[in-house]
Structure 1
Amino acid sequence: MDSSVIKITEYCSYYEIEPDFVISLEGVGLIETLIIEGERFIHEEQLKDLERYVIWHYDMDINIEGIDALRNMLANLEQLQSEVLHLKEKLRVYE
């Protein structure tokens, strides 16, 4: 078994969350899972995002649609911050 994937049922059991929640995240495109020999797995690279979504859902009571909207807003914010930094660097040339 490749060590870069984690079995969803084990993850959910360890963190005491519902596997249906992870499947719902996949359904709206927030994460991708693999099915190997009938078992669903997630890549380790996606664990940070999954953990963030778990916190938003279980600790902050945000539904799947809200998680998707929040993720999109944060991505836009990061893009805007990057653009502002780029523009500030350009302005320094003219100072």
Structure 2
Amino acid sequence: MKTSIVKITEYCSYCQADLDFVNSLEEIGLIETSVIDGERFIHEDQLRDLDRYANWHYEMEINIEGIDALRNAVTKIQHLQSEILYLKEKLRMYEP
């Protein structure tokens, strides 16, 4: 299985994102980058998250700390939704 990577500078240029913004996301652990031949890259599987964080930052004017808090809240909500679905399935076993 081949994993695609995207150069951070190309991402920033294409999406009109600031390189400092991406650096800040990496510093607090929201994304991970790899350095290959002196260039920084992000794995394709993290692009969705990076796009989401960029949207929150640039469209909704949420700062880096707010993005981290919002990501934690969204993760908890998704976990709770999964748990609700699981419990609904278990309850169906007891319905006549």
Aligned to 2:25: 25
Give the partner amino acid of 2:93: V
Shift of 1:36: 1.0
Q: Which runs of 5+ in 2 are unaligned?
A: none
Q: Give the letter for the 1:73 counterpart.
A: A
Within the alignment, does 1:91 sit opposite 2:91 as a pair? yes
Q: How far apart, in 2, do the equivalents of 1:6 and 1:46 lie?
A: 10
- What CA distance in whole angstroms lies between the structure 1 residues aligned with 2:88 and 2:69? 28
Q: Supply the RMSD in Å over aligned alpha carbons.
A: 1.3
C-alpha distance in structure 1 between counterparts of 2:46 and 2:65, whole Å: 19
- Partners of 1:76 and 1:39 lie apart in 2 by 34
1:30-77 CA-partner distances (Å, limit 9, x unpaired)? 000001111111001110000000000000000011101111101100
TM-score, normalising length: structure 1: 0.94
Counterparts of 1:31-46 in structure 2, within 5 Å, are: 31-46=31-46
Runs of 4+ in structure 1 off by over 4 angstroms are none
Per-residue CA deviations over 1:13-40 (Å, capped at 9, x if unaligned) read: 1111111111100011100000111111
Which residue does 1:54 correspond to in 2? 54
Aligned residues: 94
1:71-86 maps to which residues of 2 (within 5 A)? 71-86=71-86
Structure 1: 5+ residue stretches without partners: none
Q: Which amino acid letter does the alignment assign opposite residue 44 of structure 2?
A: E
Mapped partners of 1:8, 1:74: distance in 2 = 25
